[in-house]
């Protein structure tokens, strides 16, 4: 029996995966991955710096290649697939959003901390003016109660978002917590509901299936699990699981397998797996992109990266506060010298 639910996949390896390779994507890599994703009939392909448009900086990590060149390259081979971009207000501006749209990006995913949807109003509205499909992306959604998430999602809907996402940026949520959040959104908003998971506690697939079971119809995945921390829900595995469940996505499973094995695997600096640092991210509820920053700070100050991440979790540090990582490492090192 076939389940005819309309599950649309957004592939995030060319954005979230940028964290895993220290933002070193080349034009050729993006061309090869985007072309293969288009050939596999993936509906949306997200391309930008890991921290979104204009993220290339000393604080977030410098890109090897101007992201606009990467977006332009992806658009040139996208075919029927649509290129998406991520924008975090306060990092990216309307200027970058317009430039991406002019290059052919068709979807804007406007990401805020889960309690700060109000800062997305201008960007969502402008993306609509540019003719882009718009997504409200509520990051670190484990850090707010369900009623607050609903309130913030309704704000994004009122600004013009076509879809609102529960985003498990830390890979911290358990399946029942995902169910609760998605169910509440489905009951409260009139737009599409999406889910973006991370695999730091080995729950990305379970959480994604829980989200789908509760009615989420926009789902993120990363081929070969290429994403921040331990990566995201592995796209090719998700396609296989959904097919076994009788849920058709329109994505070609064999082509996704081949892409993962032959094109993406060689890009990875190390295989995506749950290391002690990524496990600590999920355990402590810390933003997944902090892993590499914490590792570097730990080496610099000769401290344990897990201690840095646990302390960041206690302080409820969120995306955009990367400068705190070095401060915490320095404090831990100083305390041990006493």
Q: How do residues 67-96 score in pLDDT, each as one tens digit?
A: 999 999 999 999 999 999 999 999 999 999
| Catalytic residue chosen out of the listed positions 19, 113, 123, 293 | 19
**What is the pTM for the complete model shown?**
0.94
pLDDT digits 0-9 by tens, 94-123: 999 999 999 999 999 999 999 999 999 999
Rounded-to-integer distance, Cα 234 and Cα 169, Å: 15
Structural domains of the chain in order of their starting residue, each with its CATH number? 8-267 (3.20.20.70), 289-337 (1.10.8.60)
Annotated binding site for substrate: 15-16, 169, 196, 287
Residue 15 pLDDT? 98
Angle at 243 between CA 240 and CA 247, to 5 degrees: 135
Binding residues for Mn(2+): 16, 196, 198
Q: Which residues fall in the annotated binding site?
A: 15-16, 169, 196, 198, 287
C-beta neighbour count of 97 within 10 angstroms: 24
| Residues 83 and 106 sit within 8 Å (Cβ to Cβ) | yes
Q: What is the DSSP string of 34-85?
A: HHHHHHTT-SEEE-S-TT-TT--BTTTB--SS-HHHHHHHHHHH-TTSEEEE
pLDDT at 292: 82
Select from 198, 186, 183 the least CA-distant residue to 280.
198
Q: In the prediction, which pLDDT does 201 show?
A: 98
pLDDT lower than 70: segments of the chain: 1-5
CA distance linking residue 114 with residue 145, whole number of Å:
10
Catalytic residue check, 293 = no
Predicted pLDDT at 186 = 98
Residue 61: strand pairing partners: 57
**Cα angle 231, 234, 237; round to 5:** 160
The β-bridge partners of 9 are 219
Quick one: pLDDT at residue 2?
42
């Amino acid at each position: 029996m076939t389940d005819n639910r309309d599950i649309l996949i957004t592939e995030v390896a060319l954005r979230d995966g940028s964290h895993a390779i220290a933002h070193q994507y080349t034009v050729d890599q993006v061309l090869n991955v985007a072309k293969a994703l288009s050939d596999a009939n993936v509906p949306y392909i997200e391309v930008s710096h890991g921290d979104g448009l204009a993220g290339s900086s000393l604080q977030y990590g410098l890109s090897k290649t101007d992201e606009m060149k990467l977006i332009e390259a992806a658009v040139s081979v996208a075919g029927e697939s649509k290129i998406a971009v991520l924008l975090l207000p306060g990092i990216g501006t309307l200027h970058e959003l317009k430039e991406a749209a002019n290059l052919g990006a068709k979807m804007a995913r406007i990401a805020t901390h889960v309690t700060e949807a109000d800062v997305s109003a201008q960007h969502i509205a402008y993306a609509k003016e540019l003719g882009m499909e718009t997504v409200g992306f509520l990051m670190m959604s484990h850090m707010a109660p369900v009623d607050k998430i609903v309130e913030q999602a309704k704000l994004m809907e009122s600004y013009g978002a076509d879809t609102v996402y529960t985003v498990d940026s830390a890979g911290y949520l358990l399946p029942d917590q995902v169910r609760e959040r998605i169910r509440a959104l489905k009951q409260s908003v009139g737009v599409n509901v999406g889910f973006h998971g991370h695999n730091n506690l080995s729950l990305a697939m379970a959480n994604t299936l829980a989200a789908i079971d509760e009615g989420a119809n926009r789902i993120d995945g990363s081929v070969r699990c290429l994403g921040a921390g331990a990566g995201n829900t592995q796209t090719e595995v998700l396609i296989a699981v959904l097919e076994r469940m009788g849920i058709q996505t329109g994505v070609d499973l064999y082509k996704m397998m081949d892409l993962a094995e032959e094109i993406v695997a060689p890009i990875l600096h190390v295989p995506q797996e749950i290391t002690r640092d990524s496990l600590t991210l999920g355990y402590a509820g810390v933003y997944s992109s902090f892993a590499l920053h914490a590792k570097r700070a730990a080496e610099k100050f000769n401290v344990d990266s897990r201690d840095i991440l646990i302390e960041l979790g206690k302080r409820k540090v969120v995306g955009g506060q990367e400068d705190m990582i070095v401060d915490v490492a320095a404090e831990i090192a100083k305390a041990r010298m006493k």
